[in-house]
Structure formats: C-alpha cells, structure tokens
Chains A and B, each alone.
Chain A
C-alpha cells in the first residue's frame, strides 16, 4: 500500500481502541519475569555452553602475540575464538570498527577473543588466563585537541547556508557568540548486549537483543560470509536499546563463531564493564552558536557549528540539524566537522543530533532572550516559523510549538516567575524555573506485516518489528483490533523474528507510526479478503467482531470457517515528507533547587507539553516521554563518559562510575499531549514521540539553574564544581 496523499477518514479514526490508554498487553509477562530476553531461552536451548568476551587492553596498536595455552588448559574450556582462528570475517554495513579485532586494535575493549566453556564461571576464569602482548601506538583521544584537524565529512549534508550570515551578524543590534560542550554519553540500557546462537546444519539460529531485525540479519550474514537466508534472528524482548542496539555487536558474532567452534549452542552477554568501551556511544561535541537579533527580538542571523569525533570511516554527530528548522531568521548557516578519534565507535543514541544540539541551542536562545530583556517564551514565540526557513515554499505539516509553550507556561505557573536570576530563595536553596523548546523530526519508513484471521476469530499479527520498551506489542494490537473490529484480547501479536515481514524496526522515533501503518496496510488487505470471502457488497464496517455491509451483518470469524485467512502488505511512502516538513514539537519546563552552599542541584518539578500527531496510546506514550525526560536530567546533571586522554578509553565504564539518574533524582513528572492529528505522516495520523521527550530537557535544566543562581554553565554535565566558586553570596552567612 502506498501512502502518497494526505490521510482522510479511515477506520482508525473510530478510536474505539487506538488512542485509548490501555495497559500493555505484555505487562503480565514483564512484571512476572516470564518475558524471555536473549540470554534466557532455556526452553528452546538446553545446556548451552558459555562464552566470555575478552576486550583489548590498549586503545590503538597491534597484538604482537596471544598466548592461549593456559586458557585452553583451563577446566571446562571447549574453544577459544580469535581473529587468528575465526576464518575470514567481513564487516557489517552498519559497523565502523570490526567486531572481532586483531592483530590490529581499533579501540579499547574491542573484542579480541571469546572463551567458550561448560560454565560461565569456567569461561570467565579461563578468559583471564589469555596473555596478550601488545604493540601500543599513539592515538587521538581528545576532541578539543583534534578540533583543528577536523574535516568536512564526506557523507550527508554537512553544510547549509541561506542569505548572508556574516553580513547580518555583523550588522545585528544584539549578538551572542558562545561555545558549548556536551560530553560522551552511554546508552547504559539495563540489559547487556546478549545473544544465544546455534548452528542447525549450515543455518544460524540466533536470539539476540537488537532493535532492527532485518539490519541484524544482513550484518550477521555479511560479517560471517553466509547468505542472509541462512540466518534466523529473533529478538522478541529487548531490555532497552536507546540506539545502542540498532546494530549487530560483538556478542552476536562471537556467539555464532563460538557455537561453530564448540559445536554447541553458545550464549554470550557482554560483561557490564566492557559495554561502555566495546559498544557505541553518543560522541562528545563542541558547538559554537552565533545569534544576531534586532532590539525588538527578531532573529536576523543564526549560525550553528558542531565538532565531533569518531573512528576513521565514522560519522559526525549531526548536532546542528534542528537549527536549520526551529527558528525563523533570514540569514543562517550551519556546519558539521568531524575529527578522527581512536575512542570506541561513536553512533546514534536517543535523538542523535537533536539531543546534544538542543542542549546547546536552547541555552543560547535563553541567553539571547536575557540579553534582549525578553521573556524566553515570548522570544521563542516571536521567532516561530510555519515554513522550512531554508525553503519557505515548504510548510510544516503541523507545527504547534507556540501552543506547547503557552499551554506549558499556563500549567507550570510561569507567570509567577521573577525574571531576575538568583532572585528566589527557599531556605538554603536557590530556586529557579527554566524552559526549552523540544524539536525532533518525524521519520517514516517502509514497514510490513502479516495478519491472520483464525477460525476462532483470533487476529494474529506477525512482523519483525521490535518492542524495546516502547509499547510496540500494545499499539500494534490496538491497531489490528481497531482495523478488524475486535476487542484487544482477541488479538495476538508476534514480533522480532526474521521469519516475519520486514518492518521499520525501532529507532529514530520512527517505529510507532511506521510499524502500525504497516499493520494498517496488512489489515486493509485482510478486510478485503474477508469481504470477498463473505460475498459482501459495498462499504464494509468492522465492529464488535462483526462485518456489516449492504444490509448484511455477519460474524467476522465466519470468513475463516473454511480455513485461516492470511494477508500481508507493507506501507510505503510517496513524497509527502519532501513536500511538507514533518517534525514533532514540545516544550519542557523545569523547576530546580540549587543548594546555596554546596551547589548541589535537585530537580523539583518537570512538565513536558508535546505536539506529536495522534497519540496511539497515551499511557505508553507518556512513559516514553517521562523516560526521555529522566534521561535528559542525566544529560544535564551527571552523565559523562570521562576520557583518559593518555590511555584512550572511557574510565568510568560501569554503572557506579557512569551516573544515570536513580529514583531519588527524579520527582513526579507531568506530561501533556496536545490533541492533534497529522494526516501527512501516515493513515495512523501519528508521529514519533520517544525521542522528542529528551530533546531540550537538559537545556531547560541548565536554564533553570541559571535562573536560580545567575550562573551560566555551557559545559555539560552541570556538576556542582562548575557552580561552587560562583554561587551568589549566602544571605544568612
């Protein structure tokens, strides 16, 4: 089915099931520990052997020699896989560094061996008896030092320019020129990357924790040099991804190689301390923002440049993207520059581009508003645009940023805020309110599904879509229930299996809208098959388990009396996304307390107002947003992969050293969804929400800290050492 004209009225609009805040259908499994994750398939695989991954102890160089004798002689060891004995391996299209390194080492903790043993304890113990002799080479690990060597990347659109930025900036009555930094960050999802693999003849069967089943199949096949048809990949439950499980990682490839070498099913989970340097991370950025405005507060010049680093062959963090679309201004430029660094691979993490980009831009906007003496909400409203500023003939499909800001201001009590920084005390605390705009593009991508109508009237959906905590199981069930006119409990959803039709997968906040649109397409076909089977004529209505058309009223299950009906289709997209800029919008409001003596920041209240098309399930969508707000608080206050600039690795590579928010850091969170549909995005009229929720959060926290203390911190995370020597004098000292 092709979506190339704006959606009109369709069966989803009934909203009997879609749009309702139903509980997750997989909730009873997840809350009882019966949902099975990649390392837990004891039901299908008895007595697997255990693989333990060895990571490189240097950041760059070569392995001179590797002595496996002690490890091989260790009790229970079945096989040891290294680059030396693994046979020829390719590199996945989505990987920058090899997943099994050696003799060349590309980054610290790059996997160099897998020890397979009868038990986990034996594998771990033997792994420590591998003796490696390295020839270390100097590497580049410091973005600030590498900045001058950064180049214009060869891929994507690194530069944009409209009008005459230099002229307009020089002539602007009020100017801001500031540089911001964001640190390397880690996804730190709770389930480590894990895989269970076995060979059934020449066919690889693998359970893994991966957001993108079809990408996974392709890259597993390419790396192992086997046809895609010989890979059966399953990922029914995923313990969090946030972009860190978009790509095949070492656990999957090593489990497959280990199973081949040991002639046994093998399972591998990355040890937590290995994850931070072995897998991908969100790279650090340096961002320079220049804004020029009239005294009345109209932006006339906007420039945003960002520097980031990655391994050779890697990509830049696209931190300037939102700046091309968020505010009006006749003269503008953006630029991305990429430095070569020998740290672990940089890649996508929740809202790549926008998340770090808005961390900088939305402080800059706050700073400019302050310079102008204009309320930061009014300043944003004054510079709103309803068209793509680079292509004014191209309107936004829907853009309700102003409504988000106004609704939030009203609900959060913005009016009562004294605009003067450091003006409000609450006992020993300095109190402050901050705001930031949220912006994230809406991506749509082809997605397929198969739908079955059983003799019992049960509707079964099969698609390789994944549920990484987003609620895919539930919104897909809601979509099928709505389309086929059956209650939710009459729908079965099967996900995350490469035997099922290829879906959008989960990433870039495209999954919810795209995958349900694919289910819509398959259900549309199934409805046609039902109508034909029942010999009905005219427009059919599917309601309450019945099909009504042309004056007849038949039970839906009757259509499958003679045998199951099956329909398969995919939703594909025309050029609506080119003709209309499709984005999602929001506003984040934060109230903080900063300890006047210690500089400790506590978040007191938070509100997000989102305009993101139709909300398919307000309960699960709200969870996506509060989860993203929580991650945004981490980005603002604590998350920071600290680089050892000599040895070349992230030092704090575990969950004690890499500080993600815990219960005590997060207050009750409020979320408001504006009532909206976007007929340009899909027949679901929905858009993405999971990444919008993090966009702008950290800047709203930073702006609240500035409002509380008068201190402008431009380097994340905003830890107390960055405030301590500048705190306002204590009144009660």
Chain B
C-alpha cells in the first residue's frame, strides 16, 4: 500500500480539526446532571428499563436502557460511539449500518434489547486513524466520500457485503442464483444499494470496494 505523506495517518494523528477538540480534553466542559441523578429508582414515571450487555468491538458493555432505545441510539447516545450515523432513523438510508453477529444490519431498525449478548462491530471497531482497515484506507485513496456522513455505513456495509459474496449468497444482479456470485461491478452496486450517498461518491466507492475485493471496476 503506497500512502503519500499527506495521508500517512501516523503523521496526521497529531493534527486536530475544528475547535471542538480544544474544548474537550478528559472531561467535558459542560455537563447536565447524569441520568442517575435525574431519575430515582422508585419514580413511577420512570421508563421501563432493561439491563443488557452488548459486546461492542470486542468489549462487553453493560447497559440499562429504556426498552424503546434502538441499537443505533444505544451506540451513539449511551456508548458515545458516534461513528455510526443516524441519517433517517427509519431504515431508508443505510447510514447506521453495523455488523451484528457477522451480518450487516440497519441499527436504527433494531432495538438494543434484541441484541443482548450479541457481537456488534461498528466503524470504530474496524480501524482507527493510524490503523486503518484496508477498506477504510481504500476509501481514503479513492476519495470514496465527501461529507463523510454516509461513510461509516458504506464501509461497514461493504466489509460485510464482501463476506456475503464469499459465502455465495445470491443477489438480484446475478444471472444465475444457483451459481457462485462474483464481485462484478454490477453485483457490488446492487448489494450496496441500501447505502445512500447523497454526495454521490458511488463511482469512487465501487472503485474502493473493487480494489479491496481484487476486481477491476
């Protein structure tokens, strides 16, 4: 992999973008009361909560969650793993794609309580600046994003999608459902069509995925 100085993540590590990181640091500068302070245990109005454990990116996370909490909000609002994005909250855009038990799912369409004990892989679990997953590095090289908001979903989706191809799961784009599917550009496009990119990086995304899959697009 030939990365230029410009994207050498180890060098870029030191650099920050925007003012937010300057304000942050170890503790947040502004804080509301913690939920524990806000609600008492015997409050009859308190929401119905359930204790559960999510195994996120290899680490067990125990949570007590309102049963209405989606897997997406559990990740974003409770575990502060905001790499997984909320684009629609209705299963219409793919921005919230995570890998649960090896399968890609829309985290907004799944309640957290349905995943007690499940292995969840989010974008943060695939790689970090300085240690990019090959798919993340390919996205950078191919400029397979613009605003970046659909990007974690595209990357999680594509990693799981290539696995589906390897397992021989057929798609509508294949001529023969009984034959082993191959990573043709049309197969990749069909299988990625649940992930909308309004910035319109599709052409580059398919190039990036194709490179990782070892096919010409």
From B5, B19, B137, B173, give the contact of A499 (CB < 8 A). Answer: B19
B103 CB–A CB distance under 8 Å: no
A552 CB–B CB distance under 8 Å: no
- 5 nearest interchain CB pairs? A33-B83, A236-B18, A630-B200, A239-B149, A30-B148
Whole-angstrom distance between the alpha carbons of A496 and B21 in the complex? 13
Question: When the two chains form their complex, are residues A626 and B200 in contact, meaning their CB atoms are under 8 A apart?
Answer: yes
Q: Within 8 Å CB of B86, what residues of A?
A: 39, 192, 269
Q: Would you give the shortest CB distance from A482 to chain B, in whole angstroms?
A: 13
How many positions in chain B have a CB within 8 Å of any CB in the partner chain?
Answer: 101
Query: What are some 14 contacts across the A-B interface (CB < 8 A)?
Result: A24-B143, A25-B7, A27-B7, A32-B83, A33-B152, A34-B83, A49-B32, A190-B149, A198-B30, A237-B148, A495-B18, A626-B201, A656-B92, A664-B189
Q: Within 8 Å CB of A471, what residues of B?
A: 146
Whole-angstrom distance between the alpha carbons of A237 and B30 in the complex? 20
B174 CB–A CB distance under 8 Å: no
From A32, A200, A660, A661, give the contact of B123 (CB < 8 A). Answer: A32
Q: Within 8 Å CB of B3, what residues of A?
A: 23
Q: Would you give the shortest CB distance from B91 to chain A, in whole angstroms?
A: 8
Question: When the two chains form their complex, are residues A497 and B199 in contact, meaning their CB atoms are under 8 A apart?
Answer: no
Question: When the two chains form their complex, are residues B12 and A44 in contact, meaning their CB atoms are under 8 A apart?
Answer: no
From A622, A628, A664, give the contact of B190 (CB < 8 A). Answer: A664
Whole-angstrom distance between the alpha carbons of A40 and B21 in the complex? 12
Question: When the two chains form their complex, are residues B82 and A26 in contact, meaning their CB atoms are under 8 A apart?
Answer: no
Per-position binary interface string of chain A over residues 435-474, scored 1 when its CB falls under 8 Å from any chain B CB and 0 otherwise: 0000000000000000000000000000000001111010
Q: Within 8 Å CB of A367, what residues of B?
A: none
Residues of B near any A CB (own CB < 8 A): 3-9, 11-12, 15-21, 23-25, 27-35, 38-39, 43, 45-47, 66, 68-69, 73, 76-77, 80-90, 92-93, 95, 122-124, 126-130, 132, 136-137, 139-141, 143, 145-152, 155, 173, 185-186, 188-190, 192-207, 217
Q: Would you give the shortest CB distance from A301 to chain B, in whole angstroms?
A: 37
Q: Within 8 Å CB of A74, what residues of B?
A: 45
Chain-B contact segment, one of A302-310, A484-492, A571-579, A711-719: A484-492
Question: When the two chains form their complex, are residues B17 and A493 in contact, meaning their CB atoms are under 8 A apart?
Answer: yes
Q: Would you give the shortest CB distance from B199 to chain A, in whole angstroms?
A: 5
Whole-angstrom distance between the alpha carbons of A606 and B20 in the complex? 40
Question: When the two chains form their complex, are residues B20 and A190 in contact, meaning their CB atoms are under 8 A apart?
Answer: no
Question: When the two chains form their complex, are residues A33 and B124 in contact, meaning their CB atoms are under 8 A apart?
Answer: yes
Q: Within 8 Å CB of A30, what residues of B?
A: 145, 148, 151
Q: Within 8 Å CB of B140, what residues of A?
A: 23-24, 27-28, 31
Whole-angstrom distance between the alpha carbons of A418 and B126 in the complex? 51
Question: When the two chains form their complex, are residues B190 and A497 in contact, meaning their CB atoms are under 8 A apart?
Answer: no
A57 CB–B CB distance under 8 Å: no
Whole-angstrom distance between the alpha carbons of A622 and B136 in the complex? 20
Question: When the two chains form their complex, are residues B28 and A43 in contact, meaning their CB atoms are under 8 A apart?
Answer: yes
Question: When the two chains form their complex, are residues B206 and A234 in contact, meaning their CB atoms are under 8 A apart?
Answer: no
Chain-B contact segment, one of A115-123, A170-178, A282-290, A315-323: A115-123
Q: Within 8 Å CB of A672, what residues of B?
A: none
From A41, A234, A629, A663, give the contact of B192 (CB < 8 A). Answer: A663
Whole-angstrom distance between the alpha carbons of A206 and B98 in the complex? 29
